[in-house]
């Protein structure tokens, strides 16, 4: 379950979003909140894009004669210098974020490419349309769907938020284009927590069906039974640690499905271990 929406509502835990994270986990969902680092990366990339856009505006309003080589060169150096420093700042931000995430065992997902998010949202929401998270909600919805990184996208936002209302209106066109997309916007409105949880629960039914079908398909592709997978995991306690890193595979979304494929690969590469009874029989 990928969480998007208004900045505060999608990150807080408590009454501000109807205790949605705890409810989702009770229903069996794995919650993926957006790291604050994505917002900082978004702001940096927006400044870079606006700098490029303002270049043509300045050339139009303050044109320089073609023979003014020094003036044109100084203007070019000024633009390039600013863009270089901004790109360096963005690269350093992403590098240190991923470095820290790696030191923590890779338990957080990598930052999405902001240029790709803007490109995916462009047909529906212009990147310079201001308000809230701008094009991010639309871009992330498409990004996490086409890259199969989430079975469902849930947008949390306060009641009456105009930028979120604009995004919700655009999302209807997005859903019409991507038929397998499951997207649900939830406002922390006056009707209360029960109604919000009920709406999420109905959408979760379809997401759970997708997850179960994916899991069964992946398990069948391994040629192993679920009991064999469980027996191997029982023999390897490191795989039962809560922060055990399960590598991602292209085209597979669920952690359970990824875990089954990962265990099956380990079973193939590891030498077959004899049972205690077999060892005792051979010794006798």
For 92-141, what is each residue's pLDDT tens digit?
999 999 999 888 887 788 899 999 999 999 999 998 888 778 899 999 99
- Token pair 């009874």 is found at 277
Domains of the chain by residue range: 2-207, 223-269
Q: What is the pLDDT of residue 74?
A: 83
Report pLDDT for 279.
41
Question: What is 196-264 written as a DSSP string?
Answer: HHHHHHHHHHHHHHHHHHHHHHHHHHHT--HHHHHHHHHH-GGGGSTTPPPPP-TT---HHHHHHHHHH
Each residue of 7-63: pLDDT tens digit?
Answer: 888 888 888 889 999 999 999 999 999 889 999 999 999 999 988 887 777 676 677
Residue 184 has pLDDT above 90, yes or no: yes
Helix (H, G, I), strand (E, B) or coil at 108: coil
Tell me: the pLDDT tens digits for 7-16?
888 888 888 8
Element of type H or E holding 99: helix 69-103
Would you state the structure tokens that stand for residue 170, as one six-digit string? 């655009």
pLDDT at 277: 45
The angle that helices 36-61 and 69-103 make with each other, rounded to 10 degrees, is 170
What's the pLDDT tens digit per position in 66-89?
777 787 788 888 888 988 999 999
The chain-wide mean pLDDT, for the chain, equals: 87
Which of 14-18, 23-27, 145-149, 279-283 comes out lowest in average pLDDT?
Answer: 279-283
Tell whether the model's pLDDT for residue 284 goes beyond 80: no
Number of H helices and E strands in the chain, helices first, is 10, 3
Q: 3-class SS at 62?
A: coil
Per-residue pLDDT of 84-98, as tens digits, reads: 999 999 999 999 999
What lies within 8 Å, CB to CB, of 231 at 6+ separation is: none
At residue 118, the pLDDT reads: 95
Predicted confidence at residue 106, as pLDDT, reads 79
């Amino acid at each position: 379950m990928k969480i998007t929406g208004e900045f505060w509502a999608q990150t807080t835990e408590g009454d501000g979003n109807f205790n949605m994270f705890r409810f989702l986990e009770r229903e069996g969902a794995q919650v993926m909140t957006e790291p604050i680092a994505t917002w900082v990366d978004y702001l940096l990339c927006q400044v870079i894009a606006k700098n490029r856009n303002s270049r043509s505006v300045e050339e139009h309003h303050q044109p320089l004669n073609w023979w003014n080589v020094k003036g044109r060169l100084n203007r070019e150096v000024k633009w390039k210098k600013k863009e270089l420093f901004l790109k360096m700042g963005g690269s350093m931000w992403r590098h240190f974020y991923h470095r820290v995430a790696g030191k923590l065992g890779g338990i957080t997902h990598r930052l999405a490419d902001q240029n790709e998010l803007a490109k995916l949202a462009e047909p529906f929401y212009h990147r310079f349309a201001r308000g809230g998270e701008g094009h991010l909600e639309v871009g992330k919805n498409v990004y996490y769907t086409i890259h199969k990184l989430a079975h469902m996208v849930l947008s949390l936002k306060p009641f009456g938020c105009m930028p979120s209302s604009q995004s919700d209106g655009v999302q209807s066109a997005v859903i019409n284009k991507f038929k397998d997309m499951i997207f649900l916007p939830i406002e922390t409105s006056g009707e209360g927590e029960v109604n919000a949880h009920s709406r999420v629960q109905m959408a979760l039914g379809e997401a759970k069906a997708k997850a179960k079908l994916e899991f069964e398909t992946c398990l069948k592709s391994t040629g192993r039974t679920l009991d064999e997978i469980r027996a191997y995991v029982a023999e390897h306690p490191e795989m039962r640690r809560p922060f055990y890193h399960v590598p991602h595979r292209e085209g597979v979304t669920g952690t359970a499905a990824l875990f089954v494929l990962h265990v099956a690969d380990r079973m193939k590469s590891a030498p077959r271990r004899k049972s205690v009874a077999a060892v005792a029989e051979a010794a006798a």
